[in-house]
C-alpha cells in the first residue's frame, strides 16, 4: 500500500479572497433579515421522548491503523500524523513516532465495532480464556460496555473464575470514573453461531469418576507419587491371593502373620509398586488416587486448558459438526471429566495411516504436536480444512515455542511403556459422520480391541503395567 502524503497547502490571490468575503457578508446579512421578518413557527405537541444520549468516547470511534515495519513487526494505534519523515500513532494513549524509512506499509483497520462483531462470533461461549482475551482487548480500547458483555459470557460458563470476576470489578469501576452507567437492559449481543455444536456437547459421553481414577492409577509416578489410599482389606486380599510369590528386587509376598503386618505398614505407593510388579490389575481399581499424577497434571495445565480447547476444540474445529473423526469435548476445560475424556480420545485415536497421535517414545515427533505447527515446519502436516468460516491457524510458531516444549515435557512425564487402559469407552462422532458407519470409531475396551493394533509401534520396555 503506497504511503499516504500530507495535503498540499495552496495560496488564494488577495483580490479573489476579498471578493469571497464580500459575497459571504452579503449572504449573512440577507439571512439575518429573513430571520427577523419571518413569523416564528407554532410548536406542535409531541409525545414524551427520552433525549438521545450524548455520544461518549465508546460511541465515537476512531479508526485504528496497523503499521507494519520492514522487520515484520506490526503495531496498531490511531493515526495522529504522517509526513515524509515520520508517522505518529497513538498507542493506548501514548504518542509513538516511527521513521518512515523503517515503515513497510500502513493499513486502515475496520472499526472496533466491526472487528468485535467478528471476534464475538468466533469465540464460543465455553471458551472462557478466549472471552476474557476479547474483553481485555475491548477494555484497552475503552469499549467497557462491550467488554462487560464478554465478561458476562465468561462468568456464565465459569461463575467462580477469579480472572473474570476481577475484570468485571475493574470494568464497573471504569464506567463509574467515565461517568457512564450500564443500560438497564443489556445491549443486544451480536448474532452467534448455530446451536448444533452445543447440542452435540449435551450428549457427549464423559468418563466416570471410577474410570478417571483408573487412569490415575496407571499414570502414577512411583518416584513422585500423588496422595492415595489403599484400603486395608484390599491389601490383605492381595497378600492372600499372591502369598509366597517372588518379585525381583522386592522379595516375597509375605505368608506369616508377622510378615503381613509389616507389609501393611508400607506406604501406599510402595504397596502399589507390588501391584504393578505382579500386574495385579484386579486390585488397581481398589486404589483411590486423590489428586492428579504429575503427567496428567501437566496435561491439564499445559495442554488441555492452554491450547487444546482454545485452538483445537472450538466449534469450528474438532469440537463442532465439522470435526471429522477426531471429536473432542469443548466445555469446562478445568474439569477432570472433560480433561480425562479428551485425553483418552487422543490416546486411542489412530490416523488414516494407522499411527497414534501421541508418540510416547519420541514425544517431539508426536503428530498431535506437529499438526499444530506451520505446515512448512511440520513432520506431520495438518489436513487442509474447508467450509464457511473455517480457517486453520497453527497453534505453535515452531518447535521452540514454549507451548510446544511444554507439551513435549508433558508426554515425557507420562508412563512410557503403555499397555492400554482397561476402560470401555466409545468415542463420539459429530452428526455428519453418524450416517457413515465406517467412520465411527469402534468401542475400545482394551488395546486388543483397537483395529490399529497391527500398526508399527516402538519397542516398549519389558515391564508394562
In angstroms, rounded to a whole number, what is the distance separating the alpha carbons of residues 378 and 198? 32
pLDDT > 90: percent of the chain: 34
Short-list 70, 69, 66, CA closest to 78: 66
| 316 and 403 fall within a common domain | yes
| 127 and 255 fall within a common domain | no
| 278 and 333 fall within a common domain | no
Q: Cell 462491550 belongs to which residue?
A: 146
Give me the DSSP letters along 118-175. HHHHTS-TT-HHHHHHHHHHHHHTT-HHHHHHHHHHHHHH-TT-HHHHHHHHHHHHHH
| 309 and 281 fall within a common domain | no
Q: Per-residue pLDDT for 5 more than 50?
A: no
| 298 and 425 fall within a common domain | yes
- Evaluate whether residue 163 is within a structural domain: yes
Short-list 284, 193, 204, 197, CA closest to 238: 284
For residue 448, the model assigns a pLDDT of 38
Short-list 74, 84, 137, CA closest to 106: 74
- Evaluate whether residue 85 is within a structural domain: yes
Report pLDDT digits (tens) over 339-398. Answer: 999 999 999 998 888 889 999 999 999 999 998 899 889 888 877 665 444 567 888 999
Residues 280, 238 contacting (CB under 8 angstroms): yes
| 97 and 148 fall within a common domain | no
Helix (H, G, I), strand (E, B) or coil at 95: strand
For residue 229, the model assigns a pLDDT of 96
| 299 and 421 fall within a common domain | yes
Of 247, 267, 289, which residue is a domain's last?
289
Per mean pLDDT, which range of 111-115, 161-165, 198-202, 406-410 is the poorest? 198-202
| 70 and 138 fall within a common domain | no
- Evaluate whether residue 203 is within a structural domain: no
* Number of structural domains the chain divides into: 4
| 104 and 144 fall within a common domain | no
Of 250, 273, 289, which residue is a domain's last?
289
- Evaluate whether residue 234 is within a structural domain: yes
pLDDT, averaged across the chain? 76
Helix (H, G, I), strand (E, B) or coil at 217: helix
Per mean pLDDT, which range of 121-125, 183-187, 366-370 is the poorest? 183-187
Q: Per-residue pLDDT for 49 more than 50?
A: no
Q: Which domain holds residue 82?
A: 64-108
CB atoms within 10 A of CB 270: 14
- Evaluate whether residue 37 is within a structural domain: no
The CA R_g of the chain, rounded to the nearest whole Å, is 33
The whole-angstrom distance between residue 284's C-alpha and the CA centroid of its chain comes to: 34
- Evaluate whether residue 378 is within a structural domain: yes
CATH number at residue 73: 2.30.30
For residue 324, the model assigns a pLDDT of 56
- Evaluate whether residue 76 is within a structural domain: yes
Query: No. of H helices and E strands in the chain?
Result: 14, 9
For residue 204, the model assigns a pLDDT of 87
Of 78, 108, 138, which residue is a domain's last?
108
Q: Per-residue pLDDT for 25 more than 50?
A: no
Report pLDDT digits (tens) over 402-443. Answer: 999 999 999 999 988 887 899 999 888 765 444 444 433 433
In angstroms, rounded to a whole number, what is the distance separating the alpha carbons of residues 327 and 309? 12
Q: Per-residue pLDDT for 226 more than 90?
A: yes
Burial of 177 per CB tally in 10 Å (0-12, 13-18, 19+) = exposed
Contacts (Cβ under 8 Å, ≥6 apart) of 262: 254
Report pLDDT digits (tens) over 297-349. Answer: 999 999 998 888 876 544 444 434 444 578 888 888 788 999 999 999 999 99
Give me the DSSP letters along 246-273. EETTTEE---SHHHHHHHHTS-HHHHHH
Amino acid at each position: 500500500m503506497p504511503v499516504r502524503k500530507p495535503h498540499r497547502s495552496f495560496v488564494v490571490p488577495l483580490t479573489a479572497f476579498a471578493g469571497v468575503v464580500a459575497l459571504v457578508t452579503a449572504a449573512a446579512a440577507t439571512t439575518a433579515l429573513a430571520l427577523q421578518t419571518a413569523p416564528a413557527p407554532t410548536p406542535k405537541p409531541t409525545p414524551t421522548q427520552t433525549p438521545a444520549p450524548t455520544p461518549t468516547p465508546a460511541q465515537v470511534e476512531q479508526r485504528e491503523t496497523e503499521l507494519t515495519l520492514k522487520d515484520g513487526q506490526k503495531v496498531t494505534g490511531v493515526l495522529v500524523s504522517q509526513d515524509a519523515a515520520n508517522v505518529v500513532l497513538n498507542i493506548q494513549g501514548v504518542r509513538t513516532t516511527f521513521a518512515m524509512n523503517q515503515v513497510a506499509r500502513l493499513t486502515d483497520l475496520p472499526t472496533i465495532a466491526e472487528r468485535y462483531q467478528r471476534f464475538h462470533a468466533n469465540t464460543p461461549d465455553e471458551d472462557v480464556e478466549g472471552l476474557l482475551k476479547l474483553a481485555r482487548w475491548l477494555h484497552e480500547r475503552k469499549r467497557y460496555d462491550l467488554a462487560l458483555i464478554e465478561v458476562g459470557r465468561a462468568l456464565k460458563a465459569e461463575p467462580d473464575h477469579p480472572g473474570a470476576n476481577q475484570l468485571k470489578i475493574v470494568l464497573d469501576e471504569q464506567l463509574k470514573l467515565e461517568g457512564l452507567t450500564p443500560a438497564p437492559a443489556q445491549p443486544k449481543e451480536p448474532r452467534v453461531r448455530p446451536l448444533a455444536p452445543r447440542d452435540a456437547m449435551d450428549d457427549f459421553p464423559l468418563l466416570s469418576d471410577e474410570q478417571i481414577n483408573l487412569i490415575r492409577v496407571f499414570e502414577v509416578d512411583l518416584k513422585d507419587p500423588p496422595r492415595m489410599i489403599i484400603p486395608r482389606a484390599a491389601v490383605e486380599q492381595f497378600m492372600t491371593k499372591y502369598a509366597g510369590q517372588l518379585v525381583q528386587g522386592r522379595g516375597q509376598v509375605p505368608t506369616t502373620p508377622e510378615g503381613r503386618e509389616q507389609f501393611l505398614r508400607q506406604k501406599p505407593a510402595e504397596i502399589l509398586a507390588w501391584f504393578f510388579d505382579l500386574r495385579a490389575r484386579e486390585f488397581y481399581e481398589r486404589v483411590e488416587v486423590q489428586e492428579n499424577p504429575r503427567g496428567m497434571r501437566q496435561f491439564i495445565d499445559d495442554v488441555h486448558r492452554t491450547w487444546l480447547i482454545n485452538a483445537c476444540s472450538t466449534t469450528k474445529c474438532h469440537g463442532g459438526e465439522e470435526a471429522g473423526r477426531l471429536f473432542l469435548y469443548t466445555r469446562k476445560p478445568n474439569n477432570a471429566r472433560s480433561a480425562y475424556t479428551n485425553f483418552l480420545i487422543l490416546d486411542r485415536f489412530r490416523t488414516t495411516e494407522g499411527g497414534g497421535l501421541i508418540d510416547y517414545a519420541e514425544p517431539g515427533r508426536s503428530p498431535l504436536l506437529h499438526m499444530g505447527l506451520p505446515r512448512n515446519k511440520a513432520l506431520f502436516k495438518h489436513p487442509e480444512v474447508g467450509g464457511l468460516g473455517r480457517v486453520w491457524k497453527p497453534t505453535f510458531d515452531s518447535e521452540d515455542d514454549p507451548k510446544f516444549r511444554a507439551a513435549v515435557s508433558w508426554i515425557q512425564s507420562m508412563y512410557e511403556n503403555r499397555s492400554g487402559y482397561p476402560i470401555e469407552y466409545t468415542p463420539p462422532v459429530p452428526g455428519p459422520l453418524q450416517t457413515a458407519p465406517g467412520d465411527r470409531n469402534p468401542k475400545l475396551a482394551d488395546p486388543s480391541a483397537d483395529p490399529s493394533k497391527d500398526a508399527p509401534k516402538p519397542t516398549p520396555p519389558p515391564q508394562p503395567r
